[in-house]
Amino acid sequence: MFLKTVSTGSIGNCYLLQENNGETLILDCGVPLKDIKKGLDWNIRNVAGCIVTHEHKDHSRSVKDLRNMGIRVIAPYESGEVHSMHFKLGGFDIQAFEVPHNGTWCNGFYIKTPLPDEQRILYMTDLEYCPYSFKKQHINHMLIECNYIKDMVDPDLPNFQHKVRGHCELQTTKGIVEANNSSDFRTVILCHMGLDTCDNDRIIKTIQEVAPQSQVCVAEAGKTVELRTDNCPF
């Protein structure tokens, strides 16, 4: 299985979770449709669907365009009522759950791939903290926001309050990783990182402290990470 980053950060967020058989789940679609198509190598036949965390355009920009192409898009925030839901897109079994995002309805997703080679993935972004534990689910891979380091944020920034109330700080990300770590944990991919409020080397080192057996890396546009479940993720 592979995780490909089409785009990450405030400019737009979109990731492609790709099974070895080619079946693909789009995680957020906050970029122009042409960028998603390019990330898919212009092949949409294997797209199982798209899941969207929340309504902000850097995550939902191409919802309408994907639907117009006949791709099923699940955006829990559209219901206005259900804060958690369970559904399937192709072979992907998905549980949505609510996470706090400064007053905006936002969801994380717990994703399972089909047996016999089941893998369990947690995707969370634009969250202040995670109110749930998935330790019993023995997560294999986590795609999680690390938007800023507290001592790197200028309190005079115009968006200061939204950043600190609606996004995940390094120590919070570290706590979430630590709380969900298990013997099956293999990969942590850090996403939606602030341009001037992050130090990649410092962040990777900090997360590695609580997940020493795991591959820890930063999502970068165009980069693909192999998601493995054997004992050597490197």
pLDDT digits (tens, 9 = 90+) for 23-79: 999 999 999 999 999 999 999 999 999 999 999 999 999 999 999 999 999 998 887
Q: Does residue 233 fall inside a structural domain?
A: no
Phi and psi at 174, nearest 5°, equal -55, -45
- Give the residues of the chain that fall short of pLDDT 50: 232-234
Write down the H helix ranges in 71-199: 160-166, 170-180
Beta bridge partners of 143: 123, 189
Can you give the CATH number for the domain in which 152 is found? 3.60.15.10
Q: Does residue 192 fall inside a structural domain?
A: yes
Cα–Cα dist 150/173, whole Å: 12
- pLDDT attached to residue 234: 47
- pLDDT attached to residue 233: 45
- pLDDT attached to residue 115: 84
Write down the H helix ranges in the chain: 33-39, 57-60, 63-68, 160-166, 170-180, 200-210
- pLDDT attached to residue 30: 98
- pLDDT attached to residue 116: 85
Residue that has been written with the tokens 């013997």 in this structure:
183
Question: Which range marks the domain in which residue 197 is found?
Answer: 2-226
Strands (E), 19-171: 24-27, 47-51, 73-74, 85-89, 92-99, 106-112, 120-124, 141-145
Q: Does residue 232 fall inside a structural domain?
A: no
Query: Total domain count for the chain?
Result: 1
